[in-house]
Amino acid sequence: MQPRKAEADRTFIETARRAQIVDAAIDTIAEVGYSRASLGRIAARAGISRGLISYHFTGKEELITEILRGVIEQSRAYMLPRITAQSTGPGMLRVYIESNLTFIREHRNHLIAIVEIARHRIAEGAPRGLPDHEPDQAVRALAQLLARFQKSGDLRSDFDPRAVAIAIRAAIDVAPARLSADPQFDIDSYAQDIIQVFDLATRTAD
């Protein structure tokens, strides 16, 4: 499951093709769902032959991994500075939810695709009791943030940060599916409502 060669060695064409294939794969998964997104369909959308994907990627696995890697990297780059800029608990929580949902709105298909991938990975690929899957990492990171502000007295301390982190991630991760199923869904007003919910739930009674 290694890339075919080191990134630095890639030709211009190879780099461009890989990007083109990744984009086609994201749009295909977002449109027809993970398990209908065959290499044939992805190739058709990119306007190339099936074999070409096998030439540029060692297998479907590497293609999917590349999608995850790229999108996660982009979302980190967008959200992390915004979140760490906040110094108060409620502020951090607001910006955490807000930046997540803004990123989802602005990268609709990318997020629909990785949520699709994550679901199938959790459900099937995983032999039960796997070490570390992606959603767990997000939950753990958020739980740590919450715990830190609990300790500093900036958030109420009578809740389990892990449980609340699970609920917050669940509320965020459901948004891409909503977006794709319901064109009416207004993600910005959803964001505001969710922010209020978790603000009221975690804010110290002062």
Partner DNA sequence: GCCTTTCTTGGCTGCACAGCCAAAAATTTA
Partner DNA sequence: TAAATTTTTGGCTGTGCAGCCAAGAAAGGC
In the bound state with a copy of itself, the residue whose beta carbon lies nearer, of 47 and 129, is 129
Least separation in angstroms between CB 8 and DNA:
14
Q: Which is nearer to DNA, 49 or 74 (CB)?
A: 49
Q: Which does 150 bind (CB under 5 to 8 A by kind): a copy of itself, DNA, none?
A: none
- Classify the C-alpha dihedral 16-21-24-29 as positive or negative: negative
Is residue 76 exposed (0-12), middle (13-18) or buried (19+ Cβ within 10 Å)?
exposed
Kindly state whether residue 54 participates in binding DNA, applying the rule CB under 7 A: yes
- Do residues 139 and 165 make contact, with C-beta atoms less than 8 angstroms apart? yes
Q: Does 2 bind DNA (CB under 7 A)?
A: no
Of 20 and 192, nearer to a copy of itself (C-beta) is 192
The answer to whether residue 117 forms part of the interface with a copy of itself (CB under 8 A) is no
> According to CB under 8 A, which one of 119, 134, 141, 147 is a site residue for a copy of itself?
119
Q: What is the rounded CA–CA span in Å between residue 12 and residue 103?
A: 29
Does 13 help bind DNA (rule: CB under 7 A)? Answer: yes
Please say whether the beta carbons of 43 and 49 come within 8 A: yes
Handedness of CA 190, 28, 107, 133 (dihedral sign): positive
Specify the residue, 85 or 181, whose C-beta has the smaller distance to a copy of itself.
181
Q: Which of 204, 70, 55, 83 is nearest to 142 (CA)?
A: 83
User: Interaction with a copy of itself in 130-149: which residues (CB under 8 A)?
Assistant: 130, 133, 136
Q: Give me the residues that bind DNA (CB under 7 A), please.
A: 11, 13-14, 17, 36, 38-41, 48-52, 54-56, 59-61
